Amino acid sequence: MQKNVDGRDKPGHDANSREKKMPEITVSMAEGRTDEQKAGMMRDITQALVKNLGVDADAVVIQINEAPLRHKMKGGKTFVERAAAAKK
């Protein structure tokens, strides 16, 4: 008999398991939002996971990774360059 090496043979792995894993969400975004905006977004994400995954809000971990606008690029231009071009 071949041993299952990817963990599917371990207890708690099947779809019917009552075990609920901690959802951990990372949001990557350009800096510039207020603390209130970020807190509101994280509350909304938490509630979406509670509703759709059936987890407790206390199990949800959310982390925001922010980058300066000069460190993010879209379409070959940094966000600073894009903002300057939009003002012209």
Cα(20)–Cα(62) distance, rounded to whole angstroms? Answer: 17
Respond yes or no: is residue 11 known to be catalytic. no
Give domain limits for the chain: 24-86
β partners of residue 58: none
Over the chain, what is the mean pLDDT? 86
CATH 3.40.50.2300 fits 24-86, yes or no: no
pLDDT in tens, 2-11: 555 555 555 4
Catalytic residue among 20, 23, 42, 79: 23
Q: What is the pTM of this model?
A: 0.69
